[in-house]
Copies of this chain bind each other. A is one copy, B any other.
Amino acid sequence: MSGKSRIKVACIQMTISDCNKQSNVEKALYMANDALSDGADILVFPEVFSTGFCYDEIETSSEDENGETIRQMCAFSKINKCVMVFSIIEKQAFSKGLKYYNLGVCVEDGHVVGTYRKTHPFKREKQYFSAGDSIIPVRLPKRKLTIGLQICYEIRFPEVARKLTLMGSDILITIAEFPSPRGHIWRSLAIARAIENQIPHIACNRVGEGSDSSFFGGSLIVDQLGDVMEEAGDDESVIFGTIDLEKITKIRNDIPVFDDRRTDIYYNL
C-alpha cells in the first residue's frame, strides 16, 4: 500500500432472484448508485450476485471474462471511477470441454484488474464448479492498494485469509451466500479473520430467499482491531465503513503477530 490512507467502502447486501440476471444486475447497479452518492470508493457485492447458484440454467447463467455482466460492471466502474468486487459463474472452454468456476472479479475504473477462482467449493458446488488452483490477492494499480478476496465457505479456513495477508493484502474482502441459520458462525469468523490478520474486513453476504436456502444477510465491515464499524440486519441494505490503512501499522507494532509467527513449527499445515 502506498496510495490514499482513508478509503470509504460499501457492501451492497442485496436479495438475488436466482437465474434472473438482468433484474439482479439492474438492482445491483441501482444500489451501487446509492453507495456512490454516499461517497464510497470500493463497492462489494455478494457471491454470484448476478445469478445466484443457478445450476439448472448454468449454460445461460455463465459467462467468460468478456461476458455481458463483467462488461456492464466495467462500464459502471469507468463512468463512476470506482472499484467493484463481486463474483459470477464463469464458463471456460478447454480442450477437454467446458469448465465452470465461481469467479471472483475485481474491477478498477473500468478495467478488470484481477480475478480469483474459488478454491474451496462447498458440497453441491463441487458437482458444477471446478476449483481454482491458487490464492493470490489483487493489486489495484491506480489506488496502489491490494485486496485479498475470498469467497463464502473460505471464511471457515484461516489459511486462506492468512495467505492473502502474508501476500500483502491491505483489505480482506469476503463475498458470500452464507445461508441461514449460520449467522453466528459467519459473524464470529468475520471478526476473527480481521483480528488475527490485523486487517480491515468487508464481509458481504446475500440476504433473502433463494430457491433452496434462505440468507440472513448480517454483512459486516470490521476494522483492523476486530471492531465492527457497521453491520447489516436481515434486509436489503447498503452498509459503509471508512478504512484507515495507517492504523494497520499501528496495531502491528502494538501486537506484533507477524513478527512473532513461528513458521519453523507450522510445517505441514
Instruction: Give Cα A193 to B157, complex, Å.
Output: 10
Chain B residues positioned under 8 Å from A134 (CB to CB):
265
- Specify the chain B residue showing the minimal Cβ separation from A228: B184
Instruction: Give Cα A188 to B220, complex, Å.
Output: 14
Question: Is the Cβ of A266 less than 8 Å from the Cβ of B265?
Answer: no
Q: How many residues of A contact B (CB 8 A)?
A: 40
Chain B residues positioned under 8 Å from A163 (CB to CB):
265-266, 269
Question: Is the Cβ of A261 less than 8 Å from the Cβ of B196?
Answer: no
Chain B residues positioned under 8 Å from A256 (CB to CB):
123
23 interchain pairs, CB-CB under 8 A: A119-B265, A122-B260, A133-B264, A156-B196, A157-B196, A157-B260, A157-B261, A158-B192, A159-B162, A159-B261, A159-B262, A159-B269, A163-B265, A184-B227, A185-B225, A188-B191, A188-B226, A189-B192, A189-B195, A191-B192, A192-B196, A263-B269, A269-B269
